[in-house]
């Protein structure tokens, strides 16, 4: 089967494993615009106003694009989504790598994205981080997991890398993000894992 020569079509094809064909085509246009620079403004997204609103909402829910505007903290859940002209969004590093690759290959490859996002670490660290993310997947609920559970999974997996070092590096790479609301209400540290990583069924 010949690969589509249009990168946006390749990206749309990759997204169709998770989205309807129509939604995949629109989301591909949004993501393609966001990949062109570090940040993207609302008016740079080449969609009609209604489609733009719908896709921005979905993109925020799936953490593809994160609004720069925030309430208090840097947590994804504390960001303020607005649709007016001039609103700025950024893409977490691991998502940018994943979608840049999908634009070239027509496939979502979570493991490639994670390894590339952590490529400044030594190979052992990267391998154990990937194994940890795969092992924690069955224990996540709505892409979230509590810090104590994460530590228990790491102990059961006999990792030699400290779990807090893996978590800190994954937060920087946009692979996971601290959840401030759950932590403050329950006194527990909760983390949100990037939803798009689990669109690739091979990852886990």
Domains parsed from the chain with CATH numbers: 7-105 (1.10.10), 121-199 (1.10.10)
pLDDT at 114: 98
**Is the predicted pLDDT of residue 83 greater than 50, yes or no?**
yes
pLDDT at 73 over 90: no
Greater pLDDT, 133 or 70: 133
* CA-CA-CA-CA torsion sign (153, 196, 64, 38): positive
Whether the predicted pLDDT of 2 surpasses 90: no
When the pLDDT of each residue in the chain is averaged and rounded to a whole number, the result is: 93
Using alpha carbons, select from 199, 203, 195 the residue that is nearest to residue 92. Answer: 195
CA 204/CA 19 separation, integer angstroms: 20
pTM (predicted TM-score) = 0.92
DSSP state of 70: B
pLDDT of residue 72: 75
Whether 112 and 203 have beta carbons less than 8 Å apart is answered as no
User: Does the structure show a pLDDT above 50 at 10?
Assistant: yes
**Sorting pLDDT into bands at 50, 70 and 90, what band is 47?**
very high
Check pLDDT > 80 for residue 118. Answer: yes
Segment 138-189, tens digit of pLDDT: 999 999 999 999 999 999 998 999 999 999 999 999 999 999 865 444 557 8
pLDDT at 1 over 50: no
Distance from first CA to last CA of the chain, Å, rounded? 27
């Amino acid at each position: 089967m010949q690969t589509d020569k249009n990168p946006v079509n390749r990206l749309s094809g990759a997204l169709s494993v998770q989205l309807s064909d129509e939604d995949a085509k629109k989301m591909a246009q949004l993501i393609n615009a966001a990949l062109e620079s570090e940040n993207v403004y609302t008016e740079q997204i080449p969609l009609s106003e209604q489609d733009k609103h719908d896709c921005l909402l979905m993109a925020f829910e799936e953490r593809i694009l994160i609004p720069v505007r925030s309430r208090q903290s840097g947590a994804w859940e504390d960001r303020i989504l607005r649709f007016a002209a001039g609103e700025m969004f950024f893409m977490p590093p691991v998502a940018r790598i994943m979608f840049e690759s999908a634009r070239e290959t027509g496939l979502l490859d979570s493991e490639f994205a994670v390894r590339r996002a952590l490529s400044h670490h030594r190979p052992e660290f990267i391998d154990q981080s990937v194994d940890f993310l795969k092992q924690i997947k069955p224990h996540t609920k709505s892409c979230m997991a509590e810090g104590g559970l994460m530590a228990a999974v790491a102990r059961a997996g006999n990792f030699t890398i400290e779990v807090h070092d893996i978590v800190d590096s994954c937060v920087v790479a946009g692979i996971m993000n601290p959840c401030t609301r759950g932590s403050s209400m329950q006194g527990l540290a909760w983390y949100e894992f990037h939803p798009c990583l689990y669109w690739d069924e091979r990852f886990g």
